[in-house]
Amino acid sequence: MSSASYLQTCRACKHEFRAAARYLGKVVACPTCRQPVAINDEKPVADKLVGKAIGGCTLQRRLGAGALGVVYEAVHQDGRRVAVKLLSSEAAKLPDVVARFQREARLAMDINHPHVVAVYDCGHERGAHFLVMDFVDGATLAAMVEDQPLPWREAVEMVLPMAEALAAIHAQGVIHRDIKPANILVGPDGRPKLADLGLAKNLDEDGSGLTMQNVALGSPAYMPPEQIRDARSVGPSADLYALGATLYESLTGKLPFTGRTGPEVMTRVLKDPVPDPRALVPDLPAGVAALVMATLAKAPAGRPPSAEALAADLHAVLADPETPPPSLRAAAAAATPAAPTSTPVRRVPVWAWILVAAAVAGVAAAGLLLLP
């Protein structure tokens, strides 16, 4: 059984999550809405489903819950420890939600990657829709950075496998749309896995009927401007932005854009300039800072062109953290007119690449904000 933890409910968003025993008596940020939650040891109301069997699994412990479903630790009939996700009875009454839940299962079962939480089975049994998934006995990245940010190299090494996982997901024609530290599970071996395809979108689908009209789907602090405007029309670059926001938070311990409410956060994402992480971490290497700012560009054109390119950039800054990574150099070269042959070529100082990243993001933002 997992180490001691306490089931908590965020009063702001009603999300349930488990907090490690070391946080008892402390205040932590809700992994979903980032509002403060005081951790207590009050026992929740007994869950009548614990001990029951569904999908060949015996439910042992409630791990958490969101607006649409509940997740349990369980034991499969073959002896494996697994996680079982059940759609709530209220959500099961909504045809669109059931369709999204079933789609999550289909999409996840088609993805086979060591850094993506595997889905083994799905179905409908005893009146409940369920998924059977990997059980990761560890913490989320959100919990890991709750006390203090990670050293830059550790943060980059944590995010790099997520970029590789996104490359595999995007290769299947799928966009995750909810990348954030709370959806990155870190096992005892330190290996991260990307979870929760509940908001994923298939690029072959138009998304109609699977989203609530005029509601931005995702987590506001990690959503790029285009997802705030229309979650149904986003491309793979939206996931890169969210991973950039995750890297920013891992490095600094702060979100790039904050606010008292979701709409306030989204307004700042749309209008405020991209923050330089070195304002909070002055000794952050220049190449790492430039890459973070590039992934947070307001428009997709300002970000690395693909998850594969972002993974290559992360590899590059691990090897040479002071030098801007390949995609940033390529973008700068494409935006800079060729110098006359009579003009000697000068080496561009590293600090200038930070300005390039900021300028690209700013110009992209200006263009984006002119859209109707």
Query: Nearest-CA neighbor of 86 among 108, 118, 115, 54?
Result: 54
Residue whose tokens read 């989320």: 140
**pLDDT the model gives residue 354:** 55
Domain residue extents for the chain: 1-45, 48-135, 139-369
pLDDT in tens, 224-278: 999 999 877 789 999 999 999 999 999 999 999 999 888 999 999 999 999 999 9
Q: Cα–Cα distance between 106 and 56 in angstroms, integer?
A: 19
Query: Nearest-CA neighbor of 91 among 234, 226, 221, 198?
Result: 198
The half-sphere exposure of 363 on its side-chain side, counting CA atoms within 13 A, is: 10
**pLDDT the model gives residue 106:** 81
**pLDDT the model gives residue 189:** 92
Q: Is the pLDDT of residue 62 over 80?
A: yes
Q: Quick one: 202 exposed, middle or buried, by C-beta within 10 A (0-12, 13-18, 19+)? A: middle
pLDDT in tens, 165-177: 999 999 988 888 8
Q: Is the pLDDT of residue 315 over 70?
A: yes
* Residue 151 CB partners (closer than 8 Å, separation 6+): none
**pLDDT the model gives residue 283:** 97
Other C-beta atoms lying within 10 Å of the C-beta of residue 301: 14
Length of the chain in residues, anyone? Answer: 372
User: Out of 140-144, 152-156, 308-312, 357-361, which region has the weakest mean confidence (pLDDT)?
Assistant: 357-361
Residue whose tokens read 């304002």: 279
C-alpha R_g of the chain: 21
Dmax over CA atoms of the chain, in Å, equals 80
The distance of Cα 119 from the centroid of its chain, to the nearest Å, equals: 18
User: Out of 25-34, 109-118, 239-248, 291-300, which region has the weakest mean confidence (pLDDT)?
Assistant: 25-34
H helices, E strands: number in the chain? 10, 15
Q: Cα–Cα distance between 150 and 186 in angstroms, integer?
A: 14
Q: Which of 96, 110, 178, 196 is catalytic?
A: 178
CA angle at 220 for the pair 217 and 223, rounded to the nearest 5°: 75
The three-state secondary structure class of 116 is strand
CA angle at 25 for the pair 21 and 28, rounded to the nearest 5°: 80
Predicted TM-score of the model (pTM) = 0.81
Residue whose tokens read 């995010």: 159
**pLDDT the model gives residue 207:** 43
pLDDT in tens, 104-149: 788 788 888 999 999 999 899 988 899 999 999 988 999 999 889 9
Active site residue 178: yes
CB 284 within 8 A of CB 301: no
Per-residue three-class SS string for 217-279: CCCHHHCCHHHHHCHHHCCCHHHHHHHHHHHHHHHHCCCCCCCCCHHHHHHHHHHCCCCCHHH
Q: Cα dihedral sign for 336, 338, 340, 344? A: positive
Residues 257-266: b if buried by 16+ CB within 10 A, e if exposed: bebeebeebb
The domain covering 48-135 belongs, at the CATH homologous superfamily level, to: Phosphorylase Kinase; domain 1 (3.30.200.20)
Query: In which band, very low, low, confident or very high, does the pLDDT at 317 lie, cut at 50, 70 and 90?
Result: very high
**Ordered alpha helix ranges (H), the chain:** 95-109, 141-144, 152-171, 225-229, 237-252, 262-271, 286-295, 307-319, 326-335, 350-369
Q: Tell me which fold the domain 139-369 belongs to.
A: Transferase(Phosphotransferase); domain 1 (1.10.510)
**pLDDT the model gives residue 345:** 45
Beta bridge partners of 125: 128
CB 184 within 8 A of CB 162: yes
**pLDDT the model gives residue 208:** 37
